[in-house]
A and B are shown apart, each in its own frame.
Chain A
Amino acid sequence: MSDNVRRFRWKKSGVISAPDLVRECGARLTDRELWRQFQERFQGLIFTYVMRSLRLRRVQDDVADIVPDLAQEVYLRLVQNEGRALRLFKGTTEFSVRAFLARISASVVHDYQRHAARNKRGGQVIPIDSVGAAELSRKSADVPEFDSSQLSAILAWIDMERIVEGDPDRKNARRNALIFQLHYIGGFESGEIARFPGFELTEAGVQTILARLRKRIQE
Protein backbone atom coordinates (compact mmCIF):
# COMPACT_ATOMS: atom_id res chain seq x y z
CA MET A 1 0.00 0.00 0.00
CA SER A 2 2.74 2.41 0.92
CA ASP A 3 4.28 1.70 -2.49
CA ASN A 4 1.06 2.73 -4.15
CA VAL A 5 0.97 5.94 -2.17
CA ARG A 6 4.54 6.71 -3.13
CA ARG A 7 3.85 5.98 -6.79
CA PHE A 8 0.77 8.18 -6.67
CA ARG A 9 2.81 11.04 -5.25
CA TRP A 10 5.42 10.70 -7.93
CA LYS A 11 2.75 10.97 -10.58
CA LYS A 12 1.84 14.45 -9.40
CA SER A 13 1.65 16.45 -12.60
CA GLY A 14 1.94 19.97 -11.18
CA VAL A 15 5.75 19.87 -10.88
CA ILE A 16 7.30 22.37 -13.20
CA SER A 17 10.83 21.92 -14.54
CA ALA A 18 13.54 24.22 -13.19
CA PRO A 19 14.10 26.11 -16.50
CA ASP A 20 10.35 26.56 -16.98
CA LEU A 21 9.97 27.76 -13.41
CA VAL A 22 12.61 30.42 -14.05
CA ARG A 23 10.86 31.64 -17.18
CA GLU A 24 7.41 31.50 -15.61
CA CYS A 25 8.62 33.60 -12.69
CA GLY A 26 9.85 36.15 -15.24
CA ALA A 27 6.49 36.20 -16.99
CA ARG A 28 4.50 36.38 -13.74
CA LEU A 29 6.52 38.52 -11.41
CA THR A 30 3.74 38.90 -8.87
CA ASP A 31 2.62 35.27 -8.70
CA ARG A 32 3.25 34.37 -5.06
CA GLU A 33 2.85 30.63 -5.54
CA LEU A 34 5.43 30.54 -8.33
CA TRP A 35 7.87 32.58 -6.28
CA ARG A 36 7.31 30.34 -3.29
CA GLN A 37 8.35 27.42 -5.49
CA PHE A 38 11.31 29.40 -6.77
CA GLN A 39 12.46 30.16 -3.24
CA GLU A 40 11.95 26.58 -2.12
CA ARG A 41 14.00 25.19 -4.98
CA PHE A 42 16.69 27.78 -5.56
CA GLN A 43 17.22 29.77 -2.39
CA GLY A 44 19.70 27.25 -1.01
CA LEU A 45 21.63 27.39 -4.28
CA ILE A 46 21.71 31.18 -4.22
CA PHE A 47 23.06 31.16 -0.65
CA THR A 48 25.67 28.57 -1.61
CA TYR A 49 26.81 30.39 -4.73
CA VAL A 50 27.01 33.76 -3.00
CA MET A 51 28.91 32.21 -0.10
CA ARG A 52 31.37 30.42 -2.39
CA SER A 53 31.90 33.51 -4.52
CA LEU A 54 32.72 35.52 -1.41
CA ARG A 55 35.22 32.90 -0.30
CA LEU A 56 36.83 32.61 -3.73
CA ARG A 57 37.09 36.40 -4.00
CA ARG A 58 38.71 36.34 -0.57
CA VAL A 59 36.16 38.60 1.07
CA GLN A 60 37.02 38.44 4.76
CA ASP A 61 33.67 39.55 6.22
CA ASP A 62 31.50 37.10 8.15
CA VAL A 63 29.47 35.37 5.44
CA ALA A 64 26.45 34.87 7.68
CA ASP A 65 26.21 38.64 8.02
CA ILE A 66 26.43 39.53 4.37
CA VAL A 67 25.07 36.58 2.40
CA PRO A 68 21.39 37.33 3.23
CA ASP A 69 21.79 40.92 1.99
CA LEU A 70 23.60 39.80 -1.15
CA ALA A 71 20.99 37.10 -1.76
CA GLN A 72 18.36 39.83 -1.68
CA GLU A 73 20.42 41.70 -4.23
CA VAL A 74 20.39 38.56 -6.41
CA TYR A 75 16.58 38.52 -6.25
CA LEU A 76 16.55 42.21 -7.13
CA ARG A 77 18.68 41.55 -10.22
CA LEU A 78 16.33 38.77 -11.23
CA VAL A 79 13.24 40.95 -11.13
CA GLN A 80 14.65 44.28 -12.29
CA ASN A 81 13.64 45.58 -15.71
CA GLU A 82 10.41 43.62 -15.45
CA GLY A 83 12.20 40.36 -14.87
CA ARG A 84 14.22 40.71 -18.06
CA ALA A 85 16.94 38.26 -16.97
CA LEU A 86 14.35 35.62 -16.11
CA ARG A 87 12.32 36.12 -19.24
CA LEU A 88 15.38 35.95 -21.49
CA PHE A 89 16.64 32.76 -19.88
CA LYS A 90 17.04 30.20 -22.65
CA GLY A 91 18.35 27.20 -20.72
CA THR A 92 16.75 23.80 -20.91
CA THR A 93 18.53 21.82 -18.20
CA GLU A 94 18.84 21.89 -14.42
CA PHE A 95 22.51 22.68 -14.86
CA SER A 96 21.70 25.70 -17.00
CA VAL A 97 19.53 27.08 -14.19
CA ARG A 98 22.31 26.53 -11.67
CA ALA A 99 24.80 28.20 -14.01
CA PHE A 100 22.42 31.13 -14.49
CA LEU A 101 22.07 31.63 -10.73
CA ALA A 102 25.81 31.20 -10.25
CA ARG A 103 26.53 33.94 -12.80
CA ILE A 104 24.19 36.39 -11.13
CA SER A 105 25.47 35.53 -7.66
CA ALA A 106 29.07 35.95 -8.81
CA SER A 107 28.25 39.29 -10.40
CA VAL A 108 26.57 40.54 -7.20
CA VAL A 109 29.60 39.51 -5.15
CA HIS A 110 31.94 41.13 -7.65
CA ASP A 111 30.05 44.42 -7.37
CA TYR A 112 29.98 44.15 -3.58
CA GLN A 113 33.72 43.67 -3.53
CA ARG A 114 34.30 46.60 -5.88
CA HIS A 115 32.05 48.79 -3.80
CA ALA A 116 33.78 47.74 -0.58
CA ALA A 117 37.19 48.42 -2.11
CA ARG A 118 36.07 51.87 -3.24
CA ASN A 119 34.77 52.66 0.24
CA LYS A 120 38.01 51.46 1.75
CA ARG A 121 40.09 53.68 -0.53
CA GLY A 122 38.12 56.73 0.48
CA GLY A 123 37.86 55.56 4.07
CA GLN A 124 39.62 55.96 7.34
CA VAL A 125 43.25 57.02 7.86
CA ILE A 126 45.30 54.34 9.62
CA PRO A 127 48.58 55.16 11.39
CA ILE A 128 51.56 53.84 9.44
CA ASP A 129 52.87 51.91 12.47
CA SER A 130 49.73 49.81 12.74
CA VAL A 131 49.85 49.08 9.02
CA GLY A 132 53.38 47.76 9.38
CA ALA A 133 52.40 45.59 12.34
CA ALA A 134 49.32 44.27 10.56
CA GLU A 135 51.38 43.47 7.48
CA LEU A 136 53.91 41.53 9.54
CA SER A 137 51.25 39.50 11.33
CA ARG A 138 49.45 38.84 8.06
CA LYS A 139 52.63 37.53 6.46
CA SER A 140 53.36 35.18 9.32
CA ALA A 141 49.79 33.89 9.57
CA ASP A 142 49.04 33.72 5.90
CA VAL A 143 51.54 31.17 4.65
CA PRO A 144 50.26 30.14 1.23
CA GLU A 145 49.28 26.52 0.84
CA PHE A 146 50.65 26.57 -2.63
CA ASP A 147 52.24 29.23 -4.70
CA SER A 148 50.13 29.40 -7.81
CA SER A 149 52.44 31.92 -9.46
CA GLN A 150 55.28 29.40 -9.27
CA LEU A 151 53.11 26.70 -10.72
CA SER A 152 51.99 29.04 -13.47
CA ALA A 153 55.60 29.74 -14.25
CA ILE A 154 56.32 26.02 -14.47
CA LEU A 155 53.31 25.52 -16.72
CA ALA A 156 54.40 28.45 -18.86
CA TRP A 157 57.78 26.81 -19.13
CA ILE A 158 56.12 23.65 -20.34
CA ASP A 159 55.21 24.42 -23.90
CA MET A 160 51.47 23.81 -23.96
CA GLU A 161 51.40 24.29 -27.70
CA ARG A 162 53.81 21.42 -28.14
CA ILE A 163 51.70 19.24 -25.91
CA VAL A 164 48.63 20.09 -27.92
CA GLU A 165 50.44 19.48 -31.20
CA GLY A 166 51.81 16.15 -30.05
CA ASP A 167 48.56 14.76 -28.68
CA PRO A 168 47.45 11.81 -30.82
CA ASP A 169 43.83 12.58 -29.86
CA ARG A 170 43.68 15.43 -32.38
CA LYS A 171 40.00 16.14 -31.90
CA ASN A 172 40.28 16.69 -28.16
CA ALA A 173 43.85 17.93 -27.87
CA ARG A 174 42.88 21.40 -26.61
CA ARG A 175 40.33 20.06 -24.15
CA ASN A 176 42.94 17.62 -22.83
CA ALA A 177 45.46 20.44 -22.38
CA LEU A 178 42.82 22.46 -20.56
CA ILE A 179 42.07 19.54 -18.24
CA PHE A 180 45.78 19.22 -17.57
CA GLN A 181 45.94 22.90 -16.59
CA LEU A 182 42.80 22.72 -14.47
CA HIS A 183 44.22 19.78 -12.59
CA TYR A 184 47.74 21.11 -12.02
CA ILE A 185 47.03 24.84 -11.63
CA GLY A 186 43.40 24.88 -10.62
CA GLY A 187 43.84 21.99 -8.22
CA PHE A 188 40.76 20.11 -9.46
CA GLU A 189 40.56 16.39 -8.85
CA SER A 190 39.75 14.15 -11.80
CA GLY A 191 36.32 13.37 -10.32
CA GLU A 192 35.48 17.05 -10.00
CA ILE A 193 36.40 17.71 -13.61
CA ALA A 194 34.43 14.70 -14.83
CA ARG A 195 31.29 15.96 -13.09
CA PHE A 196 30.97 18.83 -15.56
CA PRO A 197 29.15 17.59 -18.64
CA GLY A 198 31.09 19.95 -20.91
CA PHE A 199 34.24 17.82 -20.65
CA GLU A 200 32.33 14.74 -21.82
CA LEU A 201 34.49 12.39 -19.74
CA THR A 202 34.23 9.93 -16.90
CA GLU A 203 36.56 10.15 -13.92
CA ALA A 204 38.63 7.30 -15.35
CA GLY A 205 38.75 9.13 -18.66
CA VAL A 206 40.15 12.26 -17.00
CA GLN A 207 42.72 10.16 -15.15
CA THR A 208 43.84 8.51 -18.40
CA ILE A 209 44.33 11.88 -20.06
CA LEU A 210 46.30 13.23 -17.10
CA ALA A 211 48.50 10.15 -17.04
CA ARG A 212 49.15 10.33 -20.77
CA LEU A 213 50.06 14.02 -20.73
CA ARG A 214 52.26 13.58 -17.66
CA LYS A 215 54.12 10.84 -19.45
CA ARG A 216 54.59 12.97 -22.56
CA ILE A 217 56.03 15.84 -20.51
CA GLN A 218 58.45 13.49 -18.73
CA GLU A 219 59.63 12.19 -22.08
Chain B
Amino acid sequence: MNRDYGECLTDETLTEYLEGGLDPAVKAASEVHLVACEDCRSQLAFFMHVLRAEVTPEEANELERIGAKWDNKTANKRIPERRSFPRFVVALTAIAAVLVIGLLSAWIIRTRSAEPKSAREVVQLLLMQTRPFESRMAEQPYRPIVRTRGSGDPGVSFPLLAGEMTRFSANSHEMGRFYLLQKEFERAISYLEIAERETGAGAAVHNDLGVAYLETGDRLALDKAGEEFLHALQQDKSFAAAAFNLALFYEHTNATSQAQVQWKRYLELDSKSDWAMEARGRLQGLSH
Protein backbone atom coordinates (compact mmCIF):
# COMPACT_ATOMS: atom_id res chain seq x y z
CA MET B 1 0.00 0.00 0.00
CA ASN B 2 1.14 3.53 -0.74
CA ARG B 3 0.43 5.63 2.32
CA ASP B 4 -0.18 8.93 0.63
CA TYR B 5 -2.15 7.76 -2.36
CA GLY B 6 -4.33 4.97 -1.09
CA GLU B 7 -4.45 1.26 -1.83
CA CYS B 8 -2.40 -0.17 -4.66
CA LEU B 9 -4.34 -1.00 -7.81
CA THR B 10 -5.39 -4.52 -8.70
CA ASP B 11 -4.41 -6.11 -11.99
CA GLU B 12 -8.03 -5.83 -13.03
CA THR B 13 -8.13 -2.08 -12.41
CA LEU B 14 -4.84 -1.63 -14.26
CA THR B 15 -6.03 -3.48 -17.35
CA GLU B 16 -9.38 -1.72 -17.21
CA TYR B 17 -7.49 1.54 -17.09
CA LEU B 18 -5.68 0.56 -20.28
CA GLU B 19 -8.97 -0.45 -21.83
CA GLY B 20 -10.54 2.87 -20.94
CA GLY B 21 -13.31 1.09 -19.12
CA LEU B 22 -13.03 2.74 -15.72
CA ASP B 23 -15.60 5.06 -14.29
CA PRO B 24 -14.24 8.67 -14.62
CA ALA B 25 -13.92 9.09 -10.84
CA VAL B 26 -12.09 5.78 -10.45
CA LYS B 27 -9.93 6.62 -13.44
CA ALA B 28 -8.92 9.96 -11.91
CA ALA B 29 -8.15 8.32 -8.55
CA SER B 30 -6.14 5.62 -10.31
CA GLU B 31 -4.08 8.25 -12.10
CA VAL B 32 -3.35 10.04 -8.82
CA HIS B 33 -2.07 6.75 -7.45
CA LEU B 34 -0.18 5.72 -10.57
CA VAL B 35 1.79 8.94 -10.77
CA ALA B 36 2.94 8.44 -7.18
CA CYS B 37 3.32 4.67 -6.86
CA GLU B 38 6.26 3.12 -8.66
CA ASP B 39 5.10 -0.46 -8.04
CA CYS B 40 1.72 0.11 -9.67
CA ARG B 41 3.31 1.99 -12.52
CA SER B 42 5.67 -0.93 -13.11
CA GLN B 43 2.74 -3.30 -13.11
CA LEU B 44 0.89 -1.06 -15.57
CA ALA B 45 3.99 -1.07 -17.79
CA PHE B 46 4.13 -4.86 -17.42
CA PHE B 47 0.60 -5.19 -18.80
CA MET B 48 1.33 -2.68 -21.55
CA HIS B 49 4.22 -4.90 -22.66
CA VAL B 50 2.20 -8.10 -22.37
CA LEU B 51 -0.80 -6.67 -24.24
CA ARG B 52 1.19 -5.14 -27.09
CA ALA B 53 -0.64 -5.90 -30.31
CA GLU B 54 2.49 -6.32 -32.44
CA VAL B 55 4.45 -9.54 -32.43
CA THR B 56 8.16 -9.05 -33.09
CA PRO B 57 9.95 -11.42 -35.51
CA GLU B 58 11.82 -12.89 -32.54
CA GLU B 59 8.54 -13.55 -30.75
CA ALA B 60 7.07 -15.05 -33.90
CA ASN B 61 9.96 -17.55 -34.04
CA GLU B 62 9.47 -18.44 -30.39
CA LEU B 63 5.74 -18.85 -30.91
CA GLU B 64 6.40 -21.21 -33.77
CA ARG B 65 8.60 -23.37 -31.54
CA ILE B 66 5.98 -23.23 -28.77
CA GLY B 67 3.26 -24.24 -31.21
CA ALA B 68 5.35 -27.22 -32.37
CA LYS B 69 5.90 -28.34 -28.76
CA TRP B 70 2.20 -27.97 -28.03
CA ASP B 71 1.33 -30.01 -31.11
CA ASN B 72 3.74 -32.74 -30.00
CA LYS B 73 2.15 -32.83 -26.59
CA THR B 74 -1.38 -32.99 -27.86
CA ALA B 75 -0.73 -35.04 -31.01
CA ASN B 76 -1.98 -38.32 -29.60
CA LYS B 77 -5.19 -36.68 -28.40
CA ARG B 78 -6.10 -35.21 -31.76
CA ILE B 79 -8.90 -36.31 -33.97
CA PRO B 80 -7.34 -37.57 -37.20
CA GLU B 81 -7.85 -35.48 -40.29
CA ARG B 82 -10.64 -36.39 -42.63
CA ARG B 83 -9.69 -38.07 -45.88
CA SER B 84 -11.84 -38.56 -48.89
CA PHE B 85 -12.70 -42.15 -49.85
CA PRO B 86 -14.60 -43.52 -52.84
CA ARG B 87 -18.37 -43.52 -52.29
CA PHE B 88 -18.79 -47.31 -52.32
CA VAL B 89 -16.18 -47.64 -49.55
CA VAL B 90 -18.07 -45.09 -47.49
CA ALA B 91 -21.36 -46.94 -48.10
CA LEU B 92 -19.89 -50.33 -47.17
CA THR B 93 -18.29 -48.86 -44.08
CA ALA B 94 -21.62 -47.30 -43.08
CA ILE B 95 -23.42 -50.65 -43.42
CA ALA B 96 -20.72 -52.41 -41.42
CA ALA B 97 -20.89 -49.67 -38.78
CA VAL B 98 -24.66 -50.03 -38.46
CA LEU B 99 -24.29 -53.78 -37.98
CA VAL B 100 -21.55 -53.37 -35.39
CA ILE B 101 -23.49 -50.71 -33.52
CA GLY B 102 -26.61 -52.88 -33.57
CA LEU B 103 -24.74 -55.90 -32.20
CA LEU B 104 -22.99 -53.78 -29.59
CA SER B 105 -26.24 -52.15 -28.48
CA ALA B 106 -27.90 -55.54 -28.12
CA TRP B 107 -24.98 -56.75 -26.07
CA ILE B 108 -25.01 -53.63 -23.87
CA ILE B 109 -28.79 -53.87 -23.34
CA ARG B 110 -28.47 -57.54 -22.40
CA THR B 111 -25.58 -56.82 -20.07
CA ARG B 112 -27.32 -53.81 -18.54
CA SER B 113 -30.52 -55.71 -18.01
CA ALA B 114 -28.55 -57.88 -15.64
CA GLU B 115 -27.63 -54.95 -13.39
CA PRO B 116 -27.93 -53.62 -10.74
CA LYS B 117 -28.07 -56.40 -8.23
CA SER B 118 -28.31 -54.46 -4.98
CA ALA B 119 -29.41 -51.12 -3.57
CA ARG B 120 -25.77 -50.14 -3.27
CA GLU B 121 -25.27 -50.79 -6.98
CA VAL B 122 -28.30 -48.65 -7.87
CA VAL B 123 -26.73 -45.72 -6.06
CA GLN B 124 -23.31 -46.40 -7.55
CA LEU B 125 -24.76 -46.53 -11.06
CA LEU B 126 -26.48 -43.20 -10.55
CA LEU B 127 -23.29 -41.69 -9.20
CA MET B 128 -21.42 -42.89 -12.27
CA GLN B 129 -23.83 -40.99 -14.50
CA THR B 130 -23.84 -37.66 -12.77
CA ARG B 131 -22.17 -35.59 -10.13
CA PRO B 132 -25.00 -34.01 -8.19
CA PHE B 133 -22.98 -31.38 -6.33
CA GLU B 134 -19.52 -30.16 -5.36
CA SER B 135 -19.11 -32.25 -2.24
CA ARG B 136 -18.24 -35.90 -2.39
CA MET B 137 -20.26 -38.86 -1.20
CA ALA B 138 -18.56 -42.00 0.05
CA GLU B 139 -17.38 -44.27 -2.79
CA GLN B 140 -18.34 -41.67 -5.36
CA PRO B 141 -16.49 -42.07 -8.65
CA TYR B 142 -15.08 -38.84 -10.00
CA ARG B 143 -17.14 -36.83 -12.46
CA PRO B 144 -16.49 -33.18 -13.30
CA ILE B 145 -19.13 -30.77 -12.13
CA VAL B 146 -21.38 -29.70 -14.97
CA ARG B 147 -23.68 -26.82 -14.30
CA THR B 148 -26.68 -26.94 -16.57
CA ARG B 149 -29.22 -24.26 -17.15
CA GLY B 150 -32.11 -26.71 -17.23
CA SER B 151 -33.50 -28.86 -14.50
CA GLY B 152 -30.44 -31.06 -14.51
CA ASP B 153 -32.58 -34.12 -15.05
CA PRO B 154 -30.17 -37.04 -15.49
CA GLY B 155 -32.78 -38.89 -17.57
CA VAL B 156 -33.66 -41.62 -15.10
CA SER B 157 -36.96 -42.38 -13.48
CA PHE B 158 -36.40 -41.98 -9.76
CA PRO B 159 -39.86 -43.26 -8.76
CA LEU B 160 -39.09 -46.50 -10.63
CA LEU B 161 -35.69 -46.72 -9.00
CA ALA B 162 -37.24 -46.04 -5.59
CA GLY B 163 -39.27 -49.20 -6.19
CA GLU B 164 -36.05 -51.05 -6.96
CA MET B 165 -34.47 -49.74 -3.73
CA THR B 166 -37.40 -51.11 -1.76
CA ARG B 167 -37.20 -54.42 -3.60
CA PHE B 168 -33.52 -54.66 -2.69
CA SER B 169 -34.38 -53.90 0.96
CA ALA B 170 -32.11 -50.85 1.02
CA ASN B 171 -30.92 -49.89 4.49
CA SER B 172 -31.13 -46.37 5.95
CA HIS B 173 -27.70 -45.40 4.69
CA GLU B 174 -28.46 -46.53 1.15
CA MET B 175 -31.85 -44.81 1.16
CA GLY B 176 -30.22 -41.66 2.50
CA ARG B 177 -27.68 -41.76 -0.30
CA PHE B 178 -30.41 -42.42 -2.85
CA TYR B 179 -32.32 -39.29 -1.84
CA LEU B 180 -29.14 -37.31 -1.37
CA LEU B 181 -28.10 -37.70 -4.98
CA GLN B 182 -31.58 -36.55 -6.00
CA LYS B 183 -30.97 -33.47 -3.85
CA GLU B 184 -33.94 -34.30 -1.65
CA PHE B 185 -32.00 -33.18 1.35
CA GLU B 186 -34.66 -33.33 4.06
CA ARG B 187 -35.49 -36.91 3.21
CA ALA B 188 -31.84 -37.81 2.88
CA ILE B 189 -31.02 -36.27 6.26
CA SER B 190 -33.82 -38.13 8.01
CA TYR B 191 -32.54 -41.48 6.63
CA LEU B 192 -28.90 -40.68 7.28
CA GLU B 193 -29.57 -39.52 10.83
CA ILE B 194 -31.18 -42.91 11.47
CA ALA B 195 -28.14 -44.60 9.92
CA GLU B 196 -25.84 -42.55 12.13
CA ARG B 197 -27.62 -43.67 15.29
CA GLU B 198 -27.25 -47.31 14.35
CA THR B 199 -24.43 -49.18 16.03
CA GLY B 200 -21.38 -49.55 13.88
CA ALA B 201 -22.12 -46.48 11.74
CA GLY B 202 -18.85 -45.93 9.93
CA ALA B 203 -17.01 -42.99 8.47
CA ALA B 204 -19.03 -43.29 5.25
CA VAL B 205 -22.30 -42.61 7.08
CA HIS B 206 -20.87 -39.56 8.85
CA ASN B 207 -19.44 -38.31 5.61
CA ASP B 208 -22.70 -38.68 3.69
CA LEU B 209 -24.70 -37.06 6.47
CA GLY B 210 -22.18 -34.21 6.42
CA VAL B 211 -22.68 -33.87 2.66
CA ALA B 212 -26.45 -33.69 3.14
CA TYR B 213 -26.07 -30.94 5.75
CA LEU B 214 -23.55 -29.05 3.64
CA GLU B 215 -25.61 -29.12 0.48
CA THR B 216 -28.81 -27.84 2.11
CA GLY B 217 -27.21 -24.41 2.23
CA ASP B 218 -28.77 -23.89 5.67
CA ARG B 219 -26.46 -21.99 8.05
CA LEU B 220 -27.27 -24.15 11.08
CA ALA B 221 -26.88 -27.34 9.09
CA LEU B 222 -23.55 -26.08 7.81
CA ASP B 223 -22.00 -26.23 11.28
CA LYS B 224 -23.29 -29.77 11.68
CA ALA B 225 -21.66 -30.68 8.37
CA GLY B 226 -18.24 -29.72 9.70
CA GLU B 227 -18.79 -31.84 12.79
CA GLU B 228 -19.77 -34.86 10.71
CA PHE B 229 -16.71 -34.63 8.49
CA LEU B 230 -14.48 -34.37 11.54
CA HIS B 231 -16.30 -37.33 13.05
CA ALA B 232 -15.71 -39.37 9.89
CA LEU B 233 -12.01 -38.48 9.96
CA GLN B 234 -11.78 -39.40 13.62
CA GLN B 235 -13.04 -42.83 12.69
CA ASP B 236 -10.82 -43.14 9.66
CA LYS B 237 -7.99 -40.66 9.24
CA SER B 238 -7.46 -41.67 5.64
CA PHE B 239 -11.10 -41.35 4.57
CA ALA B 240 -10.45 -39.24 1.48
CA ALA B 241 -14.05 -38.18 0.82
CA ALA B 242 -14.38 -36.66 4.30
CA ALA B 243 -10.99 -34.94 3.98
CA PHE B 244 -12.15 -33.46 0.66
CA ASN B 245 -15.47 -32.33 2.10
CA LEU B 246 -13.91 -30.80 5.19
CA ALA B 247 -11.82 -28.56 2.95
CA LEU B 248 -14.99 -27.60 1.06
CA PHE B 249 -16.71 -26.89 4.37
CA TYR B 250 -13.92 -24.47 5.33
CA GLU B 251 -14.31 -22.78 1.97
CA HIS B 252 -18.06 -22.42 2.53
CA THR B 253 -17.46 -20.85 5.93
CA ASN B 254 -14.81 -18.50 4.51
CA ALA B 255 -12.10 -20.03 6.68
CA THR B 256 -9.61 -19.66 3.85
CA SER B 257 -6.41 -20.54 5.67
CA GLN B 258 -8.00 -23.62 7.23
CA ALA B 259 -9.31 -24.60 3.81
CA GLN B 260 -5.82 -24.28 2.35
CA VAL B 261 -4.36 -26.47 5.10
CA GLN B 262 -7.11 -29.03 4.61
CA TRP B 263 -6.66 -29.16 0.82
CA LYS B 264 -2.97 -29.83 1.41
CA ARG B 265 -3.86 -32.60 3.85
CA TYR B 266 -6.21 -34.06 1.29
CA LEU B 267 -3.47 -34.02 -1.33
CA GLU B 268 -1.25 -35.94 1.07
CA LEU B 269 -3.93 -38.64 1.18
CA ASP B 270 -4.59 -38.61 -2.53
CA SER B 271 -2.25 -36.93 -4.97
CA LYS B 272 -3.05 -38.69 -8.21
CA SER B 273 -6.78 -39.11 -8.78
CA ASP B 274 -9.06 -36.71 -10.64
CA TRP B 275 -10.38 -35.60 -7.27
CA ALA B 276 -6.81 -34.62 -6.42
CA MET B 277 -6.63 -32.56 -9.58
CA GLU B 278 -9.77 -30.72 -8.58
CA ALA B 279 -8.40 -30.24 -5.05
CA ARG B 280 -5.21 -28.79 -6.49
CA GLY B 281 -7.22 -26.37 -8.61
CA ARG B 282 -9.22 -25.26 -5.61
CA LEU B 283 -6.09 -24.79 -3.54
CA GLN B 284 -4.61 -22.64 -6.27
CA GLY B 285 -7.85 -20.69 -6.47
CA LEU B 286 -7.59 -19.89 -2.77
CA SER B 287 -4.07 -18.57 -3.02
CA HIS B 288 -5.20 -15.65 -5.25
A111 adjacent to B38 (CB under 8 Å): no
- Which A residues touch B282, using CB under 8 A? 80-81
- Which B residues touch A64, using CB under 8 A? 62, 65-66, 68-69
- Which B residues touch A51, using CB under 8 A? 59, 62-63, 66
As a 0/1 sequence over residues 18 to 45 of chain B, the CB contacts with chain A under 8 angstroms (1 = contact) are: 1111100001100110111010010011
A56 adjacent to B19 (CB under 8 Å): no
**Stretch in contact with the other chain, from A4-12, A119-127, A129-137, A184-192:** A184-192
* Nearest Cβ on chain A to B272's Cβ, whole angstroms: 16
- Which A residues touch B27, using CB under 8 A? 198
Give the size category of A's interface with B. Answer: 35 or more
- Which B residues touch A34, using CB under 8 A? none
CA–CA, A96 and B28, complex, Å: 20
CA–CA, A66 and B200, complex, Å: 51
CA–CA, A107 and B49, complex, Å: 15
* Nearest Cβ on chain B to A85's Cβ, whole angstroms: 9
- Interface flag for A181 (CB, 8 Å): yes
- Interface flag for A59 (CB, 8 Å): no
**Stretch in contact with the other chain, from A41-49, A202-210, A211-219:** A41-49
- Which B residues touch A84, using CB under 8 A? 285
A96 adjacent to B281 (CB under 8 Å): no
Interface size on B, residues (CB 8 A): 52
- Interface flag for A178 (CB, 8 Å): yes
CA–CA, A100 and B147, complex, Å: 22
- Which B residues touch A164, using CB under 8 A? 35
B15 adjacent to A99 (CB under 8 Å): yes
As a 0/1 sequence over residues 102 to 122 of chain A, the CB contacts with chain B under 8 angstroms (1 = contact) are: 110111000100000000000
- Interface flag for B116 (CB, 8 Å): no
Q: Of B38, B59, B146, which contacts A152 at CB under 8 A?
A: B38
Q: Of A30, A53, A185, which contacts B50 at CB under 8 A?
A: A53
CA–CA, A200 and B27, complex, Å: 12
- Interface flag for B288 (CB, 8 Å): yes
- Interface flag for A177 (CB, 8 Å): yes
Of residues 54 through 72 on chain A, the ones whose CB sits less than 8 Å from some CB of chain B are 56, 63-65, 67-68, 71
* Nearest Cβ on chain B to A143's Cβ, whole angstroms: 20
- Interface flag for B94 (CB, 8 Å): no
- Which B residues touch A52, using CB under 8 A? 49-50, 52, 59
| Known pairs A48-B59, A106-B47; A192 contacts B19 (CB<8 A) | no
- Interface flag for A21 (CB, 8 Å): no
As a 0/1 sequence over residues 12 to 42 of chain A, the CB contacts with chain B under 8 angstroms (1 = contact) are: 0000000000000001011000000000000
25 A-B interface contacts by CB (under 8 A): A27-B149, A29-B146, A48-B55, A63-B65, A64-B65, A67-B69, A67-B70, A68-B66, A76-B281, A81-B282, A82-B145, A99-B15, A99-B18, A102-B50, A102-B51, A103-B12, A105-B50, A107-B11, A174-B34, A177-B35, A185-B41, A196-B19, A197-B20, A198-B16, A198-B19
Extra A-B contacts (15), CB below 8 Å, given A95-B19, A182-B48, A197-B19: A47-B70, A56-B46, A64-B68, A83-B147, A95-B18, A99-B51, A102-B47, A102-B50, A106-B47, A182-B44, A186-B41, A188-B45, A195-B53, A196-B18, A199-B20
